[in-house]
Structure 1
Amino acid sequence: MVPARVPLSFKPETPRELLDACKDMRWRLFSGFLYKIMTKDDENQEGSVVPFKPNAAQRRQMLDLHYRSIILKARQLGMTTLAAILWLDHAMFCADQRCGIIAHSREDAEVIFRDKVKFAYNNLPPELKRLFPLKRDSASELLFAHNNSSVRVAVSMRSGTIHRLHISEMGKIAAKHPEKAREIVTGSLPAVPKTGIAVIESTAEGEEGEFYDIATKAEERGKDQLTPLTLMEWRFHFYPWYIEPGYVADPASVKISPEQHEYFDGVEVEMGVTLSLPQRAWWVSKLNSEMSGDAQKMWQEYPSTPEECWKRSTEGTFYAPQLANARAEGRITIIPHVKHVHVHTFWDIGAGDGTGIWAMQHVGVRHRFIRYFEDWAQGYEHYVNELRATGWLFGVHYLPHDAMHQRQMENRVASPMEILQELAPDWNFTIVPRVQTLQQGIDMTRAKFPEAWFDEDGCEEGLRHVALYHKKWNARLGRWSHEPEKLDGHSEAADALRQWAQGFDPKLHTFPSRPSNRKRPRGGM
């Protein structure tokens, strides 16, 4: 007889011993005898078909599994493979269970089902496989005849009850298909009962979206270790690249700069770990060979800390390199307002409800941005009053070319320029000439960015919008288009900053001698 707790080294020699050993879930999942997986052929692996033995990250996740778990991770740690094996095992040995995996595309769903779920089932020991016959075997689902449990992989799961749900690469879904991410949050996750298990895992895709929202809230909640999590609260898990023992390289073949060693030293202090020279060499080698020296791609794909994960990838964005340089050069810092120096403002007046305004002082050779203003569904009087309330001495207010266009207001047809001049006749407004193409204006902004300094508090919201200003994703072609996304609330800040690059030249302006902040009766729209 096989004992209740089977040694992981146990190799059953008879069908009876196999069935007895299978009563121990730990042996089924950790011994490597039952399940097979396909892996890549590389220097760390002997072949494409190997026994499933959980790696360090997978073991940690299995031991720390909660009813609701969200995983922020490095690439290639095998979390989707783990879900495929766990859900298959659960469906085979527990009756009337529905287990599902959601992928970010139909093609990925088919690959996960074929190469992970179905592959593991097809490679079971023959005598065991005969005990788990299939009632349905489709391109996306296995339904077992002996106990009415199933495993399926799809891009959405809304109907019925799902006892085990794994959502793969939720960050990518949220970034490229936000409506699909909302469908998962509002439709698929509620299908998991309180005592069921839901797991969301992904590498990061920037500081917005459903994955970012759930993960950051879970991370913050996890700081309170005195109050136990409820069944419906998300447990935050972070798995960095250095948890994988195979991520090492020969230090003799990789040049590690002093700045890179300083970075690794900082990670050691922050995360309470020790990074060996072979680990450091692997990271630098990966940075140079696969990421073209782009540290932001490493932060996203192979993060060292949770904070790194959310640093936006440059893919699809317009100003990420410029912002990264501004931070590295210390140009996003404390920028105090200088009295008696004119404050210039740069506006984007959207055809919709949003308006963004940057406030800047030109001092010496520095263009010092001290505040960003933004609001929605407000009349122009609101912004005039907001600016007057600062008590600043204003220079020129730069408006976009479409500020001259006539629009239907509440009770009249007028242009934004006409309305603003009526509200603030003591202010100096000017129209920024239109450039030939939007891309030309973006290129002008990129070129002028090294002259800009930003107050880290007053401009925080505007800088966040500029960082997230990105191209539209063409789902049909599977690539970024050349047009910016205008519907996510980030374009107002970016377009307002572009007015500075296109229109401001300190040598060309003289300013009125009369006071510019004289209080006027309220009026206008």
Structure 2
Amino acid sequence: MQICLQDALWRVCSGALYQIMVKGDQDEEALIQAFRPNRTQQRLIKRLWYRNLILKARQLGFTTLICILWLDHALFNANVRCGIIAQDREAVEKIFRDKIKFAYDHLPEMLRTALPLARNNATELLFAHNNSSIKVATSMRSGTIHRLLVSEFGKICHMSPIKAHEVVTGSLPAVPKNGIVVIESTAEGQDGEFYHLTQAAKKIHELGRKTAQKEYRLHFAPWFDEPNYRVNPDMVVISARDQQYFENLEATHGITLDASQRAWYVSERDVTFSGNPQKMWQEYPSFVDEAFQVSREGCYYAEQMTLVRKQGRITTVKYTQGVPVNTFWDIGNSDGTGIWLHQRVGLQDRFIGYLEGWGEPYAYFVKALQTTGYLWGKHYLPHDAGHERQGAVANVSPLKMLSDLGLTHLVVVNRVLDLQQGIQITRDCLVGDVWFDAEGCKEGIAHLDGYTKSWSKHRGTWSDEPLKNIHTEGADSFRQFPQALAQGLMNVKIKPKGIKRGRSGGWMS
């Protein structure tokens, strides 16, 4: 036994040391079983690198595997720090209780006695025999972390870009070059740090070159890696459209699925996700790009943006000297702000840039505009810009705050009677002479592409209400442009004096 304990692979894979909780069949209570990595988990162990990115289908056991690996590393190596970042407090408590603490409490009694705890709280275990620890939290910034798992990073990026930024700038740099990072998640659309990290890792994989020590190795785990994802095909109707999907998988990607797997896929989509194909692509992808695929069916501007691309109106569109630059803002009650930069040149409406940020003060955006050195026209704000909001000292409206920062020629765009009317005006605008700078408007274009209807589980179809997500500010700020046009606000000559005059000849004049 003593010799076996010196082998990390034996300790993790033998089933002799670590116990885990698994779901019982037929709604039974959770069961306890010895942990033995399945085929997909074994493949990850063999390919584990210094920096790892796992794009996965749901419930393939990667979080459990990494928790066992980190616990084992802390138990059998002195003075190491192992960390797990979870998406929220509830996930922190669940991972610590059901995966870390449970596995430690169910070690063989003799081993647990030899590896005692010095500290045991709701999120951390510190071991008395070697001063190593394992901790679960929503953020980790201080000190060195030798092993780090970021669980469901795609969801963190989607729900809180600010927290995602903290992970990238604070937590990941805390891992030394010879430490190990694992980032695992299902996909959450074509935006955010997880998407960009995945694309970079995918590019390295496709080039077939060796991964540098500080680069991320891509590990992709499709849904059909799970052998239990099968149901009786006699109980599920496969439509002609579904049949075409499976045939395309085989013809294009070489993915051959048997009848029971196809039946499971259709059943899972229709029952769990009420027939929503996009949720199925995200949660149970068949290939890497599908995980980030956006369904055109629910996207408000899909047809219009397709036409924009077909006509070559996403290209190089630079600032034209001497022509005023207008800005169109969304200032939501949430942390997000989006700003489009626009010039009218002849009959063309040219969008030369897009700014966005989360949790930043208005001074941040004013400074960003100031540094461009552009000649400014009007700044168009949403209808609620005049409403007072709670501040640190007093209740002040965004309109007043921007004016106090020296921004002049502020125009409030009236609210449309119906949101769908505003969306239709935007669609009509996009088929007109509207141009985008591909680089300067890259993030904004992604928001127009990703602005989608919410899915009604009750009706099993798209609703008329927009999905509130990371794309909202970018799409709403762009919508101020066609609404301002429709209200005749852009044909009014700029008055010599705005709400508050800037210095003569200055950037805000």
Would you say same fold, with TM above 0.5? yes
- Answer with 160-169 or 126-135: which moved more: 126-135
**Per-residue deviation, 1:120:** 0.6
Which one-letter code corresponds to 1:444 in the other structure?
Answer: Q
Query: Secondary structure at the residue paired with 1:160?
Result: coil
Is 1:305 the counterpart of 2:282 in the alignment?
A: no
Instruction: Give a deviation string over 1:235-286, Cα, whole Å, max 9, x none.
Output: 1111111111111111111111121121122223343321111111111001
Query: Secondary structure at the residue paired with 1:157?
Result: coil
Query: Secondary structure at the residue paired with 1:223?
Result: helix
Residue aligning to 2:75? 92
**Per-residue deviation, 1:132:** 1.1
Residue aligning to 1:273? 255
Is 1:118 the counterpart of 2:118 in the alignment?
A: no
Residue aligning to 1:55? 38
Picking from 312, 318, 328, the partner of 1:349 is 328
Which one-letter code corresponds to 1:146 in the other structure?
Answer: H
Give, in whole Å, the separation in 1 of the partners of 2:29 and 2:382.
62
- Answer with 145-154 or 369-378: which moved more: 369-378
Give, in whole Å, the separation in 1 of the partners of 2:128 and 2:409.
72
Q: Show the 5 A alignment for 1:73-472.
A: 73-226=56-209, 228-312=210-294, 320-323=298-301, 334-335=310-311, 349-350=328-329, 354-355=339-340, 374=353, 377=369, 434-435=414-415, 440=418, 442-445=419-422, 463-469=445-451
Query: Secondary structure at the residue paired with 2:207?
Result: coil
Structure 1 residues 357 and 254: alpha-carbon distance in aligned structure 2, compared to 1, 3 A threshold: farther
Give, in whole Å, the separation in 2 of the partners of 1:313 and 1:296.
6
Structure 1 residues 85 and 487: alpha-carbon distance in aligned structure 2, compared to 1, 3 A threshold: same
Give, in whole Å, the separation in 2 of the partners of 1:411 and 1:122.
62
Give, in whole Å, the separation in 1 of the partners of 2:211 and 2:469.
41
Give, in whole Å, the separation in 2 of the partners of 1:280 and 1:322.
30
Which one-letter code corresponds to 2:187 in the other structure?
Answer: A
Picking from 491, 510, 519, the partner of 2:476 is 491
Give, in whole Å, the separation in 2 of the partners of 1:414 and 1:282.
59
- Answer with 348-357 or 460-469: which moved more: 348-357
Residue aligning to 1:510? none
Instruction: Give a deviation string over 1:280-311, Cα, whole Å, max 9, x none.
Output: 11110011001011101111111112112223
- Answer with 262-271 or 60-69: which moved more: 262-271
Give, in whole Å, the separation in 2 of the partners of 1:39 and 1:172.
23
Residue aligning to 1:40? 23
**Per-residue deviation, 1:87:** 0.6
Which one-letter code corresponds to 1:140 in the other structure?
Answer: T
**Per-residue deviation, 1:138:** 1.5
Q: Answer yes or no: is the 8 Å Cα contact 1:74–1:302 preserved in 2.
A: yes
Structure 1 residues 212 and 86: alpha-carbon distance in aligned structure 2, compared to 1, 3 A threshold: same
**Per-residue deviation, 1:199:** 0.6
Instruction: Give a deviation string over 1:170-195, Cα, whole Å, max 9, x none.
Output: 11111112111111111111111111
Give, in whole Å, the separation in 2 of the partners of 1:433 and 1:221.
46
Give, in whole Å, the separation in 2 of the partners of 1:308 and 1:383.
42
* Root-mean-square deviation (Å): 4.5
Q: Answer yes or no: is the 8 Å Cα contact 2:300–2:452 preserved in 1.
A: no
Give, in whole Å, the separation in 2 of the partners of 1:282 and 1:370.
49
Which one-letter code corresponds to 1:68 in the other structure?
Answer: R
Residue aligning to 1:14? none
Give, in whole Å, the separation in 2 of the partners of 1:349 and 1:270.
42
Residue aligning to 1:29? 12
Structure 1 residues 206 and 454: alpha-carbon distance in aligned structure 2, compared to 1, 3 A threshold: farther
Give, in whole Å, the separation in 1 of the partners of 2:137 and 2:75.
20
Give, in whole Å, the separation in 2 of the partners of 1:310 and 1:62.
25
Give, in whole Å, the separation in 1 of the partners of 2:192 and 2:231.
35
Residue aligning to 1:5? none
Q: Answer yes or no: is the 8 Å Cα contact 1:336–1:370 preserved in 2.
A: no
Q: Answer yes or no: is the 8 Å Cα contact 1:104–1:155 preserved in 2.
A: yes
Query: Secondary structure at the residue paired with 2:6?
Result: coil
Q: Answer yes or no: is the 8 Å Cα contact 1:358–1:497 preserved in 2.
A: no
**Per-residue deviation, 1:168:** 0.4
**Per-residue deviation, 1:103:** 0.6
**Per-residue deviation, 1:153:** 0.8
Q: Answer yes or no: is the 8 Å Cα contact 1:174–1:181 preserved in 2.
A: yes
Structure 1 residues 257 and 50: alpha-carbon distance in aligned structure 2, compared to 1, 3 A threshold: same
Query: Secondary structure at the residue paired with 1:71?
Result: strand
Matched residues, percent identical? Answer: 41
Structure 1 residues 454 and 38: alpha-carbon distance in aligned structure 2, compared to 1, 3 A threshold: farther
- Answer with 23-32 or 229-238: which moved more: 23-32
**Per-residue deviation, 1:157:** 1.4
Query: Secondary structure at the residue paired with 2:300?
Result: helix
Structure 1 residues 284 and 141: alpha-carbon distance in aligned structure 2, compared to 1, 3 A threshold: same
Residue aligning to 1:10? none
Give, in whole Å, the separation in 2 of the partners of 1:499 and 1:348.
11
Residue aligning to 1:20? 3
Structure 1 residues 90 and 348: alpha-carbon distance in aligned structure 2, compared to 1, 3 A threshold: same
Instruction: Give a deviation string over 1:326-367, Cα, whole Å, max 9, x none.
Output: 79xx86762479xxxxxxxxx9733899435699xxxxxxxx
Q: TM-score, normalised by structure 2?
A: 0.71
Q: TM-score, normalised by structure 1?
A: 0.69
Q: Answer yes or no: is the 8 Å Cα contact 1:175–1:205 preserved in 2.
A: yes
Instruction: Give a deviation string over 1:385-440, Cα, whole Å, max 9, x none.
Output: xxxxxxxxxxxxx99999xx999799996577xxxxxxxxxxxxxxx994455xx2
- Answer with 250-259 or 266-275: which moved more: 266-275
Query: Secondary structure at the residue paired with 1:233?
Result: coil
Query: Secondary structure at the residue paired with 2:60?
Result: coil
Task: Name stretches of at least 5 consecutive residues in structure 1 with no aligned partner.
Answer: 1-17, 338-346, 360-368, 385-397, 417-431, 472-479, 505-523
Q: Answer yes or no: is the 8 Å Cα contact 1:370–1:454 preserved in 2.
A: no
Aligned residues: 429
Query: Secondary structure at the residue paired with 1:230?
Result: coil
Q: Answer yes or no: is the 8 Å Cα contact 1:348–1:493 preserved in 2.
A: no
Q: Answer yes or no: is the 8 Å Cα contact 1:207–1:310 preserved in 2.
A: yes
Give, in whole Å, the separation in 1 of the partners of 2:79 and 2:351.
56
